[in-house]
Structures are given as C-alpha cells and as structure tokens.
Structure 1
Amino acid sequence: MKEFLYLGFGGVVAQCEWVFWEAVGLLVGSLGVVSLSVHTIPNQTIMTFCMIPFSFGIALAIRMGISLPISVKRTKILVIFVLFFSMVVFGLVSIGVYIYRRSIVALFTSNQEVQELAELIFVKVALFNFNIAIFAILAGIATGLGKQWLLGIINFIFLWIFGLPIIYYKSIVCDGGLNAVWYWMNIPYLGMNITLCILFSYLDWYKIQKQIINNENNNNNNEEEVEEE
C-alpha cells in the first residue's frame, strides 16, 4: 500500500502537465478573441492526435512492467525500438499537420483573420505535436521504471518554473502575441525530452530490476504467511 500511494501521488504530480495546458489557455485569453479562437484550433487538434502516443506510452509502461523483472537487456531493446519507431511515425504525422494546416483550420472556421494568424503559428504547432508525442513515450518509460516522482519534478520545473513565466513575459510583456506562445511552448517540452533521455541512460536499470524482484518476493512471503495463519 505504501509503494502504491508513493507512486500514485507521484503520478498526480506528473499530471500537472495537463493543468499547464489550461493555464496557457487562460493566458491566451488575455490576448484577445482572435488569438483565443486561433489557439483553440491547434489545441483541440493536438489534444486529439496526442492520445495515440500517450496510448503507446501506457502500453509500453505495462510491457516494461512484465519484461523488466525478467530481462533488462530485452526491456532496453524494446524501449529503444518503440522510441525510434514513434519518432518516425509521429514525425510523419507532424509533417502532415503542417502540410494540411489549411484544411485543418478550415474545419473550424472560415474567418479570414483567424486563418491568417493560424498560418503564422502552424510551423510551431507541428513541432509541438512532435515534441509532445515523444514526451508521451518518455512519460510511459518513466512510469514503467517507477519514476513517477522524477517525471513530476521535471514537469514542474520545466513547465511551471520556466515555461509559463517565459510564455507570459514573451507573449504579453514583450507583446509577442500568440506566435510567441507557441514558440515558447516548444522549449520546455524539448528540455523535458532531452532531460528524460539523459536520465534514463544513466539510471541503473539492474538496480530497479532487483527492487522489483525483492518487492515481489516480499509480497509472496506475506501472502504465504497469511495463508498459513
């Protein structure tokens, strides 16, 4: 129960990323109706597309939970394969998001002013779609390794301590507008992705495997004691 609560609360902290999206939406609202209308288009589009990589990440975490106690080497190969496969697939999806940007925008509005502003930001939108897809896979890896607290701390630092203040400063104080919002939304996610990749490469996976096996043995011993009683 203690381990469950520890990982559970870590997962809650990690989900502050979703709250960050809402906070950015509130910030964009102060830029005016047109900016908010434009922001809604990629926001809803990416929210839909990113469900796929987040599903990949969840499936990978479950598979890692099965594979890691058996073989660290096999688990690492699986992680590397899924990560590079996802980079190719979601890289192509992101290219498609940019190529078909006008069709995507046309699904939401025919307003000329909204379409013109959307045209300015869609390169950054496509990059963000790729960044968040890779983050979704890395979040799954963190969960599979039982590093929810590490993920949550990294999220909080990059998104709330760095990301939101710099977005506010560049978009409102410096009058960069929605273009600055989407540019600076990419930077924290890029930073999180690089940081997570570096940390995963330096983590002792064999130590994590040993901890999992020890926990399983302890649970089995406790169950045997209960049955004997």
Structure 2
Amino acid sequence: MAGERLEDPLLGEGKGERDLEEIKSLEQFVKEIVKEKKKLWYLAGPAIFTSLAQYSLGATTQVFAGQLPTLEFDAVSTENMVIAGLAFGIMLGMGSALETLCGQAFGAKQLHMLGVYMQRSWVILTAMCVCLLPIYLFASPLLQLLNQDKKISMLAGKFSLYMIPQLFAYGFNFPIQKFLQAQSKVMTMAIVSAVAMVFHIFLSWLLMVHFKLGLVGAAASLNLAWWIVVLGQFAYIAMGYCPGAWTGFSWGAFRDLGAFAKISIGSAIMMCLEYWFYMFLILIVGQLKNAEVAVAAVSICDNLFGWVLMVFLGFNAAISVRISNELGAGRPRAAKFSILVVVMSSVLLGLFFFTLVLVMKDVYGVPFTNSPKVIHVVADLAVVFAFALLLNSVQPVLTGVAVGAGWQWLVAYINLGCYYVVGIPTGYLLAIKCDLGVKGMWTGMLTGVGLQTLILTGITLGTNWNKEAKHADLRIKKWGGSAIEQK
C-alpha cells in the first residue's frame, strides 16, 4: 500500500508527477486559475458549511436558552464562551497538527500513515482532556476569580459539569476531521454536521421548550449533537470509505508520542494565542465608561465577526490541505500557485463584507438590540469593524499556509509578539488612556492582526518552496517510521 499510486481529484496520479508548468501567457494563467478555483471550492465550500454548522451548535443552544430565566441564560452563555471556548481552542489547535502530517503523507501517497497519525492524536488529545477536567470541575471559583457575578458563576459551574462529555467529543472530533480533510472527504463532514445540527435544533426545542428541562435539557442536546458528529464521521471511516488510510486500530498509535505531542502543542499554542487575544480585548471593555453599552456593542460585533470568520476558516482548511498535499507530492510550484488563488479569492470576499458593513452601518446592529445607544455605538464602530473583517479575510488563509507547511511554532512566536506585545497594549492605551473607548480597543486589535498579516505575507513571499517540499519529504520519512513498522 505504501507504494500504491492512486488517482485523486486534487492531486492527479501521485508523488513523482510533474509540477505545475511555468505560466507564459495570460490565457494559460486564466486557465490555471479556473482549474485551481475548482479545487479550492471543492474543499472550501463543504469546509465553510461544516464550520458554520458546528459553530451553530453552541449558538443554537444560546438561542433556546433565551427562553430560560435570565440567570440560566447567562450561565449557558458564560460556559459556552469561556469554559467550552477555552477547551475548543486547545483541542482544535492540537488537532490541527494533523493538517500538516496527514496532508503531506496523503500528498506523498503514504496512505497507511494517516490512520496511525489519527490514533496518536486521539491518545494525546484524550490525555489533554483529562488535564482540562479541573477547569470544568472547578469552573465556579475560576469564574469568580475572573470577577464574574457569583450567582452566574455558581450556575455556570453546575452547567460545566453537565458539559464534560462535550470536552471528550472535542478530543475525538478534531483528529477525525483533519484525517478526513487531508483526503478531501469534506462533503462527508458537511453532511454529518448538517444531520447533527438538525437533530440539535429539534432536541433543544423538545427538551428546553416543550419539556422545560432547563440546563439539563440544554446540556443533553448539545452533548448528543457533538457525539453524533464524532460517531457519524467515524462510522463512515470504519465502513471502509477511506481504503488504505484506515486499516483498523494499531499499537503504533502509542509510539513516538513525545515528539508527536510537541507538534500538537505547537499547533495549540499558535491557535490559543490568537483565540485568547480576542478574549483579553473583551476584558478591556469591562473597564470602559458606560461599560454596559460598550459590552453590548462589542458582543454584537463579536457575534457577527464569529459568523464571518467561519467562512474564512473554510478557506483556512482548504489552503492547508492544498499546501500539505502539494508539498507532500513534491510539487512546490503548484503549492505557490494555490496560495495566490486562495488569497485572491479570500480578499475579494473580504472586500464584499467590508462594503456590506459600511453600506449597512446604521442597521446591522438593529436585529440584535432595541437600545438606540447600543445601535449608535455599533454604527460608530462600522469603519474599524469593516477593516477587521477585511484583514481577517487574509489572516486565516496565511495561517492555513503555515499549518500546511508545518510552521506552527514559528507562527506561535509571531502571534505572541504581534498580539500580546503590540495589539493588547495598543488597545488598552487607546481605549483607556486615550479615552477612545470601544473604537480604541478594536483599533488595537487591528494593529496586532495587521502586523501579523504583514509578517506572514513576508514569510510566505520569501519562502523557498522547493526547500519546503524537501522538508515535507523528510518529515514524512521521520514520522512514518513507526507506521511503516506496523505494515
């Protein structure tokens, strides 16, 4: 199986095939762009839907929780945003290590490695779930330590105990997703996520509205939805729809765990430094004058930002797969062309959202609030919010390039400098010291994201992709050792 050459709609015949030819005419350039766009949307379309569907699971729970007493609604929102949000970021980050390893192994047609990689990731992420358990078990005192209301903290802590099954679902879900993504099985992920979302909406209504089970109903529905995602995807794999990549459970999953954990932790740090950046900036809002209005305005923008970001995370997944597959196949020129096409596509989409926010600046906050003061603050934020959407149309794509190439630790250092040395201090100074309020906070965020985007752009442009293709080949041989021994 290791030497088998298989047809693939995105790669062609496998490792050793010719790289993209040098483009010498406009006609050839347009032809190659159309071809690459088909490959891109073949991956990005279902990936975007999957991101939106899974993001909607928590959002749907909060919508139905709006039917509960205010205190219970606040408890659900707090657990979903803080406790589950923290776990989600860590699990997603650690699982993202497989985007590099599985993607490059698939590009090299070393399919037998993928299943072992996924199982190793399960072992490491399950161990991390156990390490995160104290956050769920002691959520109440932790939330009070963050100056949250005592009543909300106590109830959110109780809800956190109910949500422990979701934590372990995260640990299994993300390795499975990266395993499937590397093989371009994105439509399967989309279908399973759609089924889980429909089930979740029905069960949430049944348990929370019809039977009025409150927090217990919310937890049962959300936990079951996430495990439907996990079990549905694994059933697809176990039934033999990933031939060669899944050959059953293997003791090889317990080998090289230390080295494998290192790249997983690098991915987690890269992702969490970015995720926590937004959490820290939200904390600044609580120190502003008229904090109630400021928090409401930022929450509206943050909600919209989250939905739009899911679209660009679809591009992130697509370019990560394309880069890792092409580098694994020894096609550096094709990898560079993929980056060009996906950046062009995401920038055009970013410009669309940028224009939409500016055109609708006086009304895009209306569906979320009846307060004229909040609507006014949201409208006042339109320009900086629009630029935030534009910058974040490019930034996730460049992060996807980094993941596909295996630069997780490099990006982690860049995030640390751009976000925590530049972005947060700038946001604090503008918001608090210069009395620019919410607009100052968002400007600080833009400073950090903008600097990170410039640095990643420079690194991407200056990269020797022929050298990266050789690194990918060495990485496959290094990480495939134990897998090969199992054959």
SS class of match (1:104): coil
Find the counterpart in structure 1 of residue 262 from structure 2.
6
Q: CA deviation at 1:119?
A: 1.6
Q: Note the alpha carbon deviations across 1:130-172, whole angstroms, 9 max, x for none.
A: 1112111111011011001111111110111111111111111
Which of 15, 19, 43 is residue 302 of structure 2 equivalent to?
43
Give yes or no for contact 2:298–2:438 (8 Å, CA) kept in 1: yes
- Seen in structure 2, the aligned counterparts of structure 1 residues 117 and 61 have a Cα distance that, compared at 3 Å, is same
Q: Give deviations 1:82-139, integer Å, cap 9, x for gaps.
A: 1111101121122112212333200111211111122211111010011112111111
Query: Cα offset for 1:51?
Result: 0.7
* Matches of 1:33 and 1:225, distance apart in 2: 60
TM-score, with length taken from structure 1: 0.92
Amino acid at match of 2:326: S
Using the TM superposition, give the Cα deviation of residue 226 of structure 1 relative to its aligned residue in structure 2, in angstroms: 5.0
Q: What is the RMSD computed on CA atoms of the aligned residues?
A: 1.7
- Structure 1 unaligned segments of length 5 or more: list them: none
Q: Which amino acid aligns with 1:56?
A: F
What is the correspondence of 1:123-162 to structure 2 with a 5 Å cutoff? Answer: 123-162=383-422
Question: CA 1:212–1:92 in 2, change beyond 3 Å: closer, same or farther?
Answer: same
**In 2, Cα distance between the equivalents of 1:201 and 1:53?**
21
Q: Which residue of 1 aligns with 2:324?
A: 65
Equivalent residue letter for 1:30: Q
**Contact kept in structure 1, 2:266 and 2:409, CA below 8 Å:** yes
Q: Verify: 1:115 aligned to 2:375, yes or no.
A: yes
Q: Secondary structure at the match of 2:362?
A: helix
Q: Kindly indicate which of the two structures has a greater share of residues assigned to helix.
A: 1
Residue 4 (structure 1) shift? 2.9
Q: Give yes or no for the alignment of 1:213 onto 2:473.
A: yes
- In structure 1, C-alpha distance between the alignment counterparts of 2:267 and 2:476, rounded to whole Å: 21
Matches within 5 A, 1:15-34: 15=271, 16-31=273-288, 32-34=291-293
Does residue 187 (structure 1) correspond to residue 419 (structure 2)? The answer is no
Structure 2 distance, partners of 1:35, 1:218, is 51
* TM-score with structure 2 setting the length: 0.45
- What is the CA–CA distance in structure 2 between the aligned matches of 1:225 and 1:38, rounded to whole Å? 57
Structure 1 match to 2:342 = 82
- Contact 1:13 1:153 survives alignment (8 Å): no
Q: CA deviation digits over 1:166-196, x for unaligned, max 9?
A: 1111111221111211222111111111110
Runs of 4+ in 1 over 6 A off after TM superposition: none
**Deviations for 1:8-66, whole angstroms, at most 9, x for unmatched residues?**
11111112111111111111011111111111111110011101101211121012111
User: 2:426 maps to what in 1?
Assistant: 166
| Amino-acid identity (%) | 21
Shift of 1:3: 4.8
Q: Distance in 2 between matches of 1:144 and 1:224?
A: 23
Tell me, in whole angstroms, the C-alpha distance in 2 between the residues paired with 1:211 and 1:3.
Answer: 17
Listed as ranges, the gaps of 5+ residues in structure 2 are: 1-255
> Larger Rg: 1 or 2?
2
What residue in structure 1 maps to residue 16 of structure 2? none
Count of matched residue positions in the alignment of Structure 1 and Structure 2: 227
Greater relative contact order (Cα 8 A, min sep 6): structure 1 or 2? 1
1:101 is paired with a residue whose SS is coil
CA contact (8 A) 1:14 1:151 kept: yes
Q: How far apart, CA to CA, are the structure 1 residues paired with 2:338 and 2:347? A: 14
Name which of structure 1's ranges 18-27 and 179-188 shifts more when overlaid on structure 2.
179-188
